[in-house]
Structure formats: structure tokens, C-alpha cells
């Protein structure tokens, strides 16, 4: 789809699902076969059924109090009227968070990812983050989400993901098409590590990437320049080599030290160095891929930025 991300995330690509309604006696004939663009949520289905059945939603069942009905009836749309929604629409799925109020949507990846603000009327694909342009609006919406999360018992977070739930391996020998899920990928959170890639042919694109646009790191080549990217709570930093790869240089290496220093090599020749402000802060939810970066992107490149050269093998060592 043209929308951002996919299932699991709460960006538009992960939550936008069409709803088909069929009720010949209840839907205005002039609206049949037409699109209705007002946003709705799964919680609205119960409210709609209660409304159409002219029923009363109970306050308790078998003597036990239950959660009050959360949604609003979609019945007005059956006659071309506006939905009477007073409260925001909220989402939380595996730590991914979002709140929508009218045309405004605030969304974040993971339990610690940075909030992003979008005007869905102008930017349905969520490409232009307006959180810095409208900081007060973003803060107010974030506060509303936090209050809802406590009330809905989405928080405190129900998990306690310890390091033991991830791979304990220190060395990973990777095939050219390796694609590792998060649970078996290198445990890079708060860890220094080094990466080696052996190429058969130089090219442009991603050599290896782990994570997405909340947390992660990636290594790429662009016009013979080796580049290292890192995501820290949604903020991207990068280190570029000062010197270009020679035509015959096929073995490259990147080292992320505990201090945040990044060193880039071609064989034993140092191509450059730089600093990032931190090690990866949290284990990425996205896994590791060789030769491309599908899904949430770590760097500032477009699409998956698939490598158009040849990768023979890779190696990652956790320090």
C-alpha cells in the first residue's frame, strides 16, 4: 500500500482496513456503492450494534462491573451524516502507540520510540513529521494517550523483556541472504560490536541492517562511500567514511566502540571515523537483514535500498 509500515505497527499501513457494510433497509439508497471516509475503529462496532438494536449496554454482568462501552455508533454514516465522536481514537499494540484527533495523528514505534505528529488530511502516508513544528499539540496528545493507557490498562507495560529472551551468541556468521528475527538476531542493545562484510562485487545499497526507525543500525555503500547509521529512540545519526573504497577493495569492516566511536575500514586501510551519541539503546523489534532494509528503515535512504553488488558473507561480533 502507499501507507507507511505494515501489520504490527500502528502507522497507517498497519491499521488501515476497509469496512464493507450491507443493510439494504437501513442504508440510504443514494449512498450504496459509495465510499465513506470518516475514520472508525473496531470499538465502534459494538456501539453500532447496540444503537441499531435499540438495546442498553449493561453496567455489570453477573454482579461484576464491566468496562463501559468505548466506541460510538456508525449509524449516522448510513444516511450521510457525521459520526458523533467526542473522544480521540487510541491504539496500543505491543508497545506501538497512536492517538488520533480529527485530522491529527500522533504515533510512535515501540514503548520508547519518539512520538511523530502527522496531518492525515494532507499527509496520509505519514511522511512529514510535524512534532517539532507543533510541539504543544504533540505534548497534549501524548499526555492524553498516557492517561488513556493507564485507564485502559495498557500500562504499566505487561512485559519485562530481559536480555535472556534474546540470543546469547557473541559471533554471527551470516549468509548473503540472512534474515533473522529479533529473538535470534545479535543482542546489540547497549553493546559494542564489529561488522565484517566480504563482497564479491562492489555496488550501492545496504550491506546489513538491524532494526528500524525507532532503534537499530545499518551499514551501506553509496558511490563508494561506506556509511554507518544508528537509530536512538527514533533519532538518526550517521558516520561517513572520509575516503572512498578502491576498485579492488572487497572486504569492509565497521566497529562501534563502547565510547560511541565508529571506525570504518577497507581491509586494514582506515577509511574514516566518527562519533555517535550512544550505543543502540534498546533491542530493535525489527530483525536483521543482509543486503537490504525492508520495513522500518534505519537510515535516510529510500525504500529497502537493496544492494546491487554481490555479498559473499558477513560476520558480526558482539563485544
Domains for the chain: give ranges and CATH numbers: 12-151 (3.30.1120.10), 164-318 (2.60.120.200)
| Whole-structure pTM value | 0.60
Give the ranges where the chain is alpha helix by DSSP (H): 12-15, 43-52, 135-151
Tell me how far apart the alpha carbons of residues 196 and 194 are, in angstroms, rounded to a whole number: 7
Residue written as grid cell 567514511: 241
What SS3 class is residue 265?
strand
Report pLDDT digits (tens) over 139-180.
999 999 999 998 888 887 765 544 446 889 999 999 999 999
Cell of 20: 464493507
- Encode the chain (319 residues) as per-residue pLDDT tens digits: 789 999 889 999 999 999 999 999 999 999 989 999 999 999 999 999 999 999 999 999 988 889 899 999 999 999 999 999 999 999 999 889 999 999 999 999 988 788 999 999 999 999 999 999 999 999 999 999 999 998 888 887 765 544 446 889 999 999 999 999 888 999 999 999 999 999 999 999 999 999 988 899 999 999 999 999 999 988 899 999 999 999 999 999 999 999 999 999 999 999 999 999 999 998 887 899 999 998 778 998 878 899 999 999 999 999 9
Amino acid at each position: 500500500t502507499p501507507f507507511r509500515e505494515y501489520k504490527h505497527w500502528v502507522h497507517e499501513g498497519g491499521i488501515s482496513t476497509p469496512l464493507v457494510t450491507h443493510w439494504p433497509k437501513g442504508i440510504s439508497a443514494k449512498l450504496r456503492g459509495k465510499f465513506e471516509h470518516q475514520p472508525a475503529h473496531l470499538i465502534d462496532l459494538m456501539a453500532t450494534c447496540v444503537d441499531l438494536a435499540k438495546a442498553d449496554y449493561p453496567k455489570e454482568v453477573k454482579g461484576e462491573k464491566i468496562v463501559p462501552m468505548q466506541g460510538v455508533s456508525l449509524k449516522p454514516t448510513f444516511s450521510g451524516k457525521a459520526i458523533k465522536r467526542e473522544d480521540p481514537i487510541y491504539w496500543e499494540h505491543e508497545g506501538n502507540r497512536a492517538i488520533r484527533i480529527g485530522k491529527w495523528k500522533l504515533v510512535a514505534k515501540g514503548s520508547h520510540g519518539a512520538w511523530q505528529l502527522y496531518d492525515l488530511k494532507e499527509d496520509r502516508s505519514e511522511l512529514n513529521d510535524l512534532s517539532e513544528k507543533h510541539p504543544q499539540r504533540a505534548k497534549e496528545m501524548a499526555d492524553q494517550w498516557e492517561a488513556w493507557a493507564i485507564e485502559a490498562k495498557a500500562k504499566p507495560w505487561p512485559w519485562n523483556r530481559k536480555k535472556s529472551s534474546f540470543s546469547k551468541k557473541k559471533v554471527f556468521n551470516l549468509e548473503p541472504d540472512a534474515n533473522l528475527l529479533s529473538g535470534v538476531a545479535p543482542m546489540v542493545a547497549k553493546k559494542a560490536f564489529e561488522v565484517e562484510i566480504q563482497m564479491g562485487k562492489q555496488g550501492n545499497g545496504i550491506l546489513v541492517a538491524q532494526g528500524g526507525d525507532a532503534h537499530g543500525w545499518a551499514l551501506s555503500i553509496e558511490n563508494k562511500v561506506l556509511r554507518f547509521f544508528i537509530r536512538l529512540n527514533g533519532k538518526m545519526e550517521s558516520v561517513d567514511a572520509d575516503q572512498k573504497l578502491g576498485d579492488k577493495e572487497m572486504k569492509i569492516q565497521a566497529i562501534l566502540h563502547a565510547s560511541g566511536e565508529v571506525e570504518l575500514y577497507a581491509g586494514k586501510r582506515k577509511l574514516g571515523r566518527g562519533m555517535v551519541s550512544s550505543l543502540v539503546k534498546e533491542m530493535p523489534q525489527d530483525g536483521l537483514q543482509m543486503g537490504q532494509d525492508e520495513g522500518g528503515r534505519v537510515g535516510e535512504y529510500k525504500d529497502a535500498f537493496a544492494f546491487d553488488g554481490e555479498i559473499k558473507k558477513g560476520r558480526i561480533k558482539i563485544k
